[in-house]
Amino acid sequence: MKREEIFQSLGSLRKGLLQIIIAIVLSGIIIFPFSKKLLAYLCQKTLETGLVAYAIPEAFFSLLKLTLYASLFVSIPLIFYYIWKAFSPVFRSKGLTRANGLLFASIFLFYLGAFFCFFVALPNGVKFLLGYQSAHIKPMISAGKYVSFCMIFIFGFGLTFELPLILALLSYLRVVRASFLTRNRKYAILAIAIIAAVVTPTPDVFNMSLMGVPMYVLFEVGVIAVKVIERKRARPEMSLSQK
């Protein structure tokens, strides 16, 4: 990728920032009246105890924070659309033809990871952490900190599930090859273990595996995608060499 192409893509992305900001603000205006119910649903699915506010404005700001995260969450398709719109000319110049399919794939993978975190990883992680309470240790969970805690992991899972798509795009740019990925699989497993340890809310093996196993499967899917891309690329190159 040339420097000029990067600057052109960033300039195109900057033009879409206003539409993204407007979408987030409008989504926030719609979501805020339902923020109390949204927080109650979050606690119902992931937390067995109630939340507390350590300052007078904390209850309000926690709802405002949750509204912002929820607005970003529902605006992901638009955000990804403008990112892809800005950088798709670069990938088309490298031979990518089905740009729209990859856009839908990126949105699907993000929401797949986010919902997997919300319904599987996060409840188990919180349950594990709360298991350390005793008669002398009772958790008093701050509303604002709990909202941030949950949203960081939900968005973290969503972004890490983009791994196979990232590998495919890097293959189009000729940055990675399937042979390199398979040869360094053990290092990839180590990196996945480290990411799982950082992203998952608890350090135990069970909850780390909830993140690590899907990531490894996604890595192998990415390797397969890279191999398919290389085979498609090799066909016209072989025909040209034969001529």
In contact, 154 and 122? CB cutoff 8 Å: yes
pLDDT at 107: 94
Residues of the chain with pLDDT below 50 are: 240
| Domain range for 131 | 3-242
pLDDT at 60: 92
pLDDT at 112: 94
pLDDT at 96: 67
Dihedral-angle region of residue 69 (phi above 0 means left; psi in -120 to 50 means alpha; beta otherwise): alpha
pLDDT at 4: 67
Burial code of 149-171, b = ≥16 C-beta within 10 A, e = fewer? bbbebbbbbbebbbbbbbbbbbb
Domain count across the chain: 1
Whole-prediction pTM value? 0.84
pLDDT at 232: 79
